[in-house]
Structures are given as C-alpha cells and as structure tokens.
Amino acid sequence: MYNERTLKTVASIGLAIAIGIAACFLIITSIPSAPRNIYPGGLIAPVLFAPPGSAEKTKIVPAIQGRLDERFITAWPKGLTVGTHDSVVVRIAANDYENLLKGIDEFSREIVQERFKGRAELEVTLKGDSGLEIMSQHGDKQVVVRGQHYREWSWTILPKLSGTHRLSLLVQGVQGNIREDYDPQIKDYAVAMDWVYWLKLGAEQNGVGYVWAAVFGTATFFLGRLFGKKSKQEDH
C-alpha cells in the first residue's frame, strides 16, 4: 500500500517527465527545417519561353532518327520520409567526354542511365500526387548543344503524407508545337512516417495549446494508473 508521501513523490516525477517531454517538443518546433540532398547544378542554358500551342495543334510523336545523340541520367532518391526534403536530378548531354554522375552520391541514389536520339531543345517535367510537394530549381525548357556541357534539371521533393506515392518524369523534344516523348519514367515510393515531424507540424498548426494538452494528458495518464493501483490494493 502506498502512503501519501510516496504518492506525491511519484506524481511529481510523472509530471516532471511530462513537462520535460513538452519542453523538447517546443525546442524542436523552434528549429527551422532545411532542404537536404540538394545537388549543385551544372551550367544552365537560357530558358526559352515559347508560347504554348493549343491542344488541337500539339502533336505527340515518337522519337525520330537524325536528332542529336544524347546521354541522359536520372538520380532518384532510394526512399522518402514524411517531412524530409530530398531531390531528383536529371542531366542530359550531347557529348561523350563528361561524367554525368560527378558530384552525385551514387550510394544514396537510384541511377537510371539512357541514350536517345533527341531534339536540341528539351522540356523536362516532374509531377507527383497530392501527398508530395515538388519545387522546381530550373526552367522546364533548356537547349542541349553538341559537344558542350550537360544541362541539368532538379527538383526538391517534400513528402507531406505517408503511404504509397508516385513521381512521374517526362522528357520531351520540342520543335514549335510538336512534342517528341523520350521514355517517361515512373517511380512509386512507400513514404515512411516521421513522428517527430508529425508532432512538430501539429504544434505549429495548433499552437502551444497542442503541446500543453499532450503534457497534461500524459500527467493524467500517470496519475490515473497510480491511483488505480492504490484503489485495487485497498480493495484487497
């Protein structure tokens, strides 16, 4: 059987633990998140803003022979976690002398390498579902020049929800209103939950009251279990 002094001591310890947890959450919410795994880009050609044609005039055709011989790499993340920034990088060159993987951590990336006959002017776009926030670091249209430095496209990815989510990459050659599709890529990710991010997001959206509700909820839980045990022992 517990005496009154023991009960007060245990209750104080439980409340102190709960307050400590709340303090940690408040410290976490004050730390700004920063993008990670964002790779430095190569030289980027001037962005061409050609007026888009109407849907009726735009033709989708397969790649045609007689274009530039282009090398193409995509660096995909191996996995995604809610609240953690990651990136997708595409590099395309019309030369054989450059290492397109220079500066990219191949151990943390899934690399796709291809060759195709393509137009000099390319439009590269990355799309995802509503659970992924995508921020472009480039203009969609760039010009690849034979024998010159590669062109790079990159995107910052921020998963907002756990579960299965999809990224779709499309590379198109451009000539006026004509589009030539070059091997689109689709990646499905099982996005993992980050509980620290979830608690931080909840605190940011619901204010300090969210954290203190967690504190007093935890304290109530400890005290409830403590007095429940005391009542059972007295009954016996």
Q: Which of 188, 214, 186, 187 is nearest to 200 (CA)?
A: 214
Distance of alpha carbon 19 from alpha carbon 214, whole angstroms: 9
The list of the chain residues with pLDDT below 50 reads 33-66
pLDDT confidence of residue 177: 87
Average pLDDT, the chain: 74
Domain ranges of the chain: 4-31+195-235, 59-191
Alpha-helical (H) ranges within 70-207 are 195-206
CA–CA–CA angle 105, 168, 137 (5° rounding)? 55
Task: Please answer whether residues 184 and 63 qualify as being in contact, where contact means their C-beta atoms are separated by less than 8 angstroms.
Answer: no
**What sign has the CA pseudo-torsion 190, 191, 193, 196?**
positive
User: Given this structure, which CATH class describes domain 59-191?
Assistant: mainly beta
Provide the token pair at 70: 């282009």
Give the model confidence (pLDDT) of 173-224 as tens digits.
998 888 899 888 999 999 988 655 555 555 555 555 555 555 555 656 555 5
> In this structure, what are the phi and psi dihedrals at residue 198, rounded to the nearest 5 degrees?
-60, -45
> Residue 119's CB: how many other CB atoms inside 10 A?
21
pLDDT confidence of residue 56: 35
Provide the token pair at 58: 């735009």
CB burial string 161-195: b at 16+ within 10 A, e below = ebeebebebbbbbbeeebbbebeebebebebeebe
